[in-house]
């Protein structure tokens, strides 16, 4: 496994549509493992292949809950329900955060690392992370959807206000 360079906003690859994965070959498995390692190294909760410069429909997500790590190819949102406003950032958009309207619950179908079909019923942060990463596969960044940007100072104030 290896940590890969995360592509930053301004690079054209982030705005392109990724191609589906037809075969889970060694190259794709290595990509999935490198993406997981890169995501953890960068303290992210999700990463999409275009963020490491590869236009294939592959994502990794780990929001730190009991589900652990998802390594998914060809993920699709097959249903969504409700609404939530999430505070998002992106490893490709460093130093910025914004409030984004997202569904509250989503059902995602995909293939896992073993090539088996999986269906994920997600809500809260996991739903947000899956939506955010799947958007990357279509060249969409959270800043395209945000209803407002949140400044760093506001974030820090928010943290101070939280009970400890």
State which residue, 24 or 57, has the beta carbon closest to Ni ion. 57
Binding window for Ni ion (CB under 5 A); candidates: 16-24, 89-97, 101-109, 151-159: 89-97
Judged by beta carbon, residue 31 or residue 90, the one nearer Ni ion is: 90
Contacting range for Ni ion; rule: CB under 5 A; set: 11-19, 31-39, 66-74, 85-93: 85-93
Catalytic residue among 88, 133, 149, 151: 133
First-to-last CA distance in the chain? 37
| DSSP-H helix ranges across the chain | 26-41, 124-136, 152-161
Q: How far is the CB of 92 from Ni ion (least distance, A)?
A: 5
The least CB distance from residue 47 to Ni ion, in Å, is 7
Q: Which is nearer to Ni ion, 113 or 136 (CB)?
A: 136
Q: Does 72 bind Ni ion (CB under 5 A)?
A: no
Instruction: Find where tokens 């392109």 sit.
Output: 16
Q: Is 61 in the site for Ni ion (CB under 5 A)?
A: no
Q: CB of 117: closest distance to Ni ion in angstroms?
A: 25
123 is a catalytic site residue: no
CB-based contact 87:128 (threshold 8 Å): no
Measured from each CB, the residue nearest to Ni ion is 90
* CA distances (Å), origin 10, targets 36, 88, 157, 161: 23, 19, 30, 34
Contact between 90 and Ni ion by CB under 5 A: the answer reads yes
Residue 158 zone, left/alpha/beta (φ > 0; ψ -120 to 50; rest): alpha
Residues that bind Ni ion (CB under 5 A): 90
Task: Give me the active site residues, please.
Answer: 133
């Amino acid at each position: 496994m290896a940590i890969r360079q995360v592509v930053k906003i301004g690079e054209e690859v982030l705005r392109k549509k990724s191609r589906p994965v037809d075969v889970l070959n060694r190259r794709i498995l290595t990509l999935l493992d490198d993406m997981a390692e890169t995501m953890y190294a960068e303290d992210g909760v999700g990463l999409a292949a275009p963020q490491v410069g590869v236009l294939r429909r592959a994502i990794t997500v780990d929001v730190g809950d009991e589900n652990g790590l998802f390594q998914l190819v060809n993920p699709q949102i097959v249903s969504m329900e409700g609404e939530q406003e999430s505070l998002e950032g992106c490893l490709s958009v460093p130093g910025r955060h914004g409030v984004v309207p997202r569904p509250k619950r989503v059902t995602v179908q995909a293939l896992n690392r073993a090539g088996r079909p999986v269906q994920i019923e997600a809500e809260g942060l996991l739903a947000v992370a899956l939506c955010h990463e799947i958007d990357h596969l279509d060249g969409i960044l959270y800043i395209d959807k945000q209803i407002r940007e949140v400044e760093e100072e506001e974030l820090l104030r928010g943290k101070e206000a939280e009970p400890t």
